[in-house]
Amino acid sequence: MYRTHTCGQLRIDNAGQTVTLAGWVQKSRKLGGMTFIDLRDRYGITQLVVEADAPAELVEAATSLGREFVIQATGTVVERQSKNPKMPTGDIEIRLSSINILNKSVTPPFTIEDVSDGGEDIRAKFRYLDLRRGPLKEALMLRHKIAHETRNFLDAQGFMEIETPYLIKSTPEGARDFVVPSRMNPGQFYALPQSPQTFKQLLMVAGYDRYFQIVRCFRDEDLRADRQPEFTQIDCEMSFVEQEDVLGTFEGMMRTLFKNVLGVDIPSPLPRMSWFDAMDKYGSDKPDVRFGMTIHDITSVAKGKGFSVLDGAAYIGSIAVPGAASYTRKQIDELTEWVKRPQVGAKGLIYVRVGEDGSLKSSIDKFYTPDDLAVIVKAAEAAPGDLVLIMSGDNMRKVQNMLGVLRLEMGGRLGLRDPKVFAPLWIVDFPLLEWDDETQRFYAMHHPFTSPKPEHMDLFYSDKKEDLERVCANAYDFVLNGTELGGGSIRIHDAEVQKRMFEVLGIGPEEAESKFGFIIHAFQYGAPPHGGLAFGFDRVCALFGGSDSIRDYIAFPKNNQGRDVMIDSPSEIDQTQLDELCIKTDVN
């Protein structure tokens, strides 16, 4: 037997017992002839001590230990002289009678402690060492707990976990596919699933009623902190449901996760906001509603005073930043530079300071009388002490989006975005289609299997672009603290409606047949009404853990260039493999 206890297990009640522990030497130090060793495993750290008067070979063994040696140590649990209240095992130590070195370690490239001296790149290269550190261990434990609670909840609700294939044909979710060449079918390729969307719908046609899967998905997109080329979804689908049924079920799931994992109660029912309100008031389809500072349309009151920038704008919007009237000129100049950065893309920023005494001072005093400004301030719903920030432009959604970005920045600066505060909500009533000026065609806002709202069916069959733009979808997103955690829709289950959808998207009958024939055919054999959604599992984990970055919650993530620097992938493959696959590369 290698051990009687783990390194996180022993307490003062165990005093007097003879125990054997096994683990990694985090560090060892000598103090007045005694050797202290911190022994670590997944469960915690226990202090071991070799007394100055211990047998010589024991003292020698203790002295020979290096960082990350794997040892087995036997001794007696004793109460510590100087206790460490920060460690669960901090009341005791093990007075050793023997040490058995199970394996040596070369000196690790960085210290494996909660706060490491290693930079990000070196830790990524030695991820298996980084994973020994407390914060990453906690992140993966949280991930495990959320997965476990998810499975328990869905199982209790009658959902079956069913695996779907990874080697498939392209599923259109709006990103590029990763492809895999087929050796047995030269010149042909599988695609890795962007999601199991079509398969889960086929499972509904097959009568499985309630499906879920915690499943890997692949999207070949440009990467950001909250994106990975492979990521995990909690993917779900239900039959004989309307939007209310889906929202009710998954509100229940999220409520259970919040309660059982974090001990947090979220509101019941959850707030809902239409997509249009989210865009108008927050400049985003994933609003952070932990704080107000919403966007106001001040177009009608801010125009017509001879200031050409505003007079020529199609839309003028504002936010009122509480308590920021006292901003200095320098602070406002800095903010103006900030909004001009390409990430925001504004041309400039107009401000009105609302003094505590109600006095008004603005960057447009030349054109606007105090009375004019008072009307603007009222429309902006600003209070004494606020700083009103104004932006304008030709495109309403673009300006709202920039104001939304500024709003988030100001919320952050004012400390209103506490990661321990959770403000979940549903966004509903999405447009079904999005027009793209560049390609002069419609795209599905969610995906092409999303159904139009029944009351918008007439518009959906109209040939007019304006009508099609007005069609709303039975689609919904679950949003938490400014992040889209999940989304889904009630699906089209009628082959004719699905055909019309492809037509609207400019996918001709032949292309539809070759790409999606299987699902159109399946719909002819009794497809039940169905709908579902998927949650971004990595994002759920990160937000529950209070972090922005999903990378910490994935055991072996990729970096910003989509590389796994530990195994050095992607990499070239040898000529024989290429020949077998009938592939010629053309890389210069």
The 8-class DSSP code of residue 110 comes to S
* Closer residue to ligand ASP, CB minimum distance, 402 or 541: 541
- Reduce the DSSP state of residue 180 to 3 states and report it: strand
C-beta of 532: minimal distance to ligand ASP in Å?
5
C-beta of 535: minimal distance to ligand ASP in Å?
9
Please name the residue that has the structure tokens 């690790």: 108
Candidate ranges 311-319, 400-408, 460-468, 484-492; the one touching ligand ASP (CB under 6 A): 484-492
Phi, psi of 174 (to 5 degrees): 95, -5
* Strands 360-362 and 350-354, bridge-based pairing: antiparallel
User: Are 472 and 454 in contact, with CB atoms under 8 Å apart?
Assistant: no
Say how far apart CA 515 and CA 439 lie, in whole Å.
Answer: 20
C-beta of 217: minimal distance to ligand ASP in Å?
7
- Reduce the DSSP state of residue 22 to 3 states and report it: strand
* Closer residue to ligand ASP, CB minimum distance, 26 or 489: 489
State how far the alpha carbon of 99 is from the alpha carbons of 2, 70, 94, 551, in Å. 12, 10, 12, 37
* Closer residue to ligand ASP, CB minimum distance, 110 or 166: 166
C-beta of 198: minimal distance to ligand ASP in Å?
9
Strand partners, 318: 296, 390
C-beta of 534: minimal distance to ligand ASP in Å?
4
* Closer residue to ligand ASP, CB minimum distance, 40 or 446: 446
User: Are 411 and 283 in contact, with CB atoms under 8 Å apart?
Assistant: no
* Closer residue to ligand ASP, CB minimum distance, 38 or 285: 285
* Closer residue to ligand ASP, CB minimum distance, 197 or 243: 197
Candidate ranges 76-84, 271-279, 293-301, 526-534; the one touching ligand ASP (CB under 6 A): 526-534
C-beta of 78: minimal distance to ligand ASP in Å?
56
State how far the alpha carbon of 481 is from the alpha carbons of 81, 285, 488, 542, in Å. 46, 12, 19, 12
- From 172, 452, 487, 557, residue interacting with ligand ASP (rule: CB under 6 A): 487
Residue 23 contacts ligand ASP per CB under 6 A: no
Say how far apart CA 19 and CA 73 lie, in whole Å.
Answer: 8
Residue 532 contacts ligand ASP per CB under 6 A: yes
* Closer residue to ligand ASP, CB minimum distance, 196 or 385: 196
Say how far apart CA 436 and CA 42 lie, in whole Å.
Answer: 51
- From 7, 507, 533, 543, residue interacting with ligand ASP (rule: CB under 6 A): 533
Restricting to residues 185-244, which ones interact with ligand ASP according to CB under 6 A? Answer: 195, 197
Say how far apart CA 255 and CA 266 lie, in whole Å.
Answer: 6
* Closer residue to ligand ASP, CB minimum distance, 442 or 537: 537
Q: How many CA atoms lie within 13 A of 120 on its CB side?
A: 6
Candidate ranges 61-69, 95-103, 145-153, 528-536; the one touching ligand ASP (CB under 6 A): 528-536
Q: What is the DSSP string of 435-455?
A: EETTTTEEEESS-TTBPBPGG
* Closer residue to ligand ASP, CB minimum distance, 325 or 534: 534
Residue 534 contacts ligand ASP per CB under 6 A: yes
Give the number of residues in contact with ligand ASP, rule: CB under 6 A: 9
- Residue nearest ligand ASP (C-beta atom): 195
C-beta of 212: minimal distance to ligand ASP in Å?
11
Our CA dihedral for 462, 467, 468, 472, rounded to 10 degrees, sits at: -120
Binding mask 144-183 toward ligand ASP (x if CB under 6 A, else -) reads -----------------------------x----------
For residue 38, the surrounding DSSP H or E stretch is strand 34-41
Candidate ranges 369-377, 457-465, 487-495, 554-562; the one touching ligand ASP (CB under 6 A): 487-495
Residues near 562 by Cβ (< 8 Å), separated by ≥ 6?
Answer: 223, 229, 570
- Reduce the DSSP state of residue 429 to 3 states and report it: coil
* Closer residue to ligand ASP, CB minimum distance, 487 or 557: 487
Candidate ranges 141-149, 334-342, 508-516, 527-535; the one touching ligand ASP (CB under 6 A): 527-535
Which residues here bind ligand ASP, judged by CB under 6 A?
173, 195, 197, 487-489, 532-534
